[in-house]
């Protein structure tokens, strides 16, 4: 909350009457991103933050893993084998969007999308905004004058607040 982008997000949502106080907003973000939900038969074995920013293996395949910094660090350690990209966004500078295929520590990711060159707080704020405004739907945005679509998902196996669903994933759908 100490970064400019998070302050801007709170200010916007507060003026939209989504949150009455910064503490209410912070508490909701904590529950949304770090509250546990079940990915399968086990109870409380994952969180939105883990899925989006760290990545997970589910049924032998990589899920989530949408953060370029984590990707870079894992690749540097020899844990990620980048195969190819299937989409490169229209931006001439950063942040950009890339959809790619890779192997992570022996597990395959058929296609994953990530911002490239953005700050973690930018991604956290953008995905939070989309989840709050359009939970479980496509969120249409404009970034640097280009259209961008971010898809969020809700997870039914756990709830927080007044029946809100945890954020399960957020990823870039398209930017054309």
Catalytic residues: 51, 66, 109
Phi, psi angles (nearest 5°) of residue 154: -105, 160
Distance CA 91, CA 148 (A): 11
Distance CA 67, CA 47 (A): 15
Asked if residue 120 lies in contact with residue 69, where contact means CB atoms within 8 angstroms, the answer is yes
Distance CA 96, CA 90 (A): 8
DSSP structural state of residue 61: E
Which of helix, strand or coil describes residue 122?
A: helix
Which of helix, strand or coil describes residue 6?
A: helix
Q: Residue written as tokens 């992570």?
A: 104
């Amino acid at each position: 909350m100490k970064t400019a982008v998070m302050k801007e997000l709170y200010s916007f949502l507060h003026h939209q009457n989504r949150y009455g106080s910064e503490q209410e907003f912070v508490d909701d973000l904590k529950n949304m991103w770090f509250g546990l939900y079940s990915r399968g038969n086990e109870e409380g074995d994952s969180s939105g933050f883990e899925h989006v920013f760290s990545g997970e293996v589910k049924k032998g395949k990589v899920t989530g893993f949408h953060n370029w910094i984590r990707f870079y660090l894992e690749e540097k350690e020899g844990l990620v084998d980048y195969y190819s990209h299937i989409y490169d966004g229209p931006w001439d500078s950063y942040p950009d969007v890339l959809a790619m295929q890779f192997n992570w520590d022996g597990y395959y990711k058929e296609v994953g999308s990530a911002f490239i060159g953005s700050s973690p707080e930018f991604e956290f704020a953008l995905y939070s905004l989309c989840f709050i405004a359009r939970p479980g739907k496509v969120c249409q945005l404009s970034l640097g004058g280009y259209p961008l679509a971010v898809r969020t998902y809700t997870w039914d196996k756990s709830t927080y607040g007044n029946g809100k669903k945890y954020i399960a994933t957020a990823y870039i759908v398209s930017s054309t």
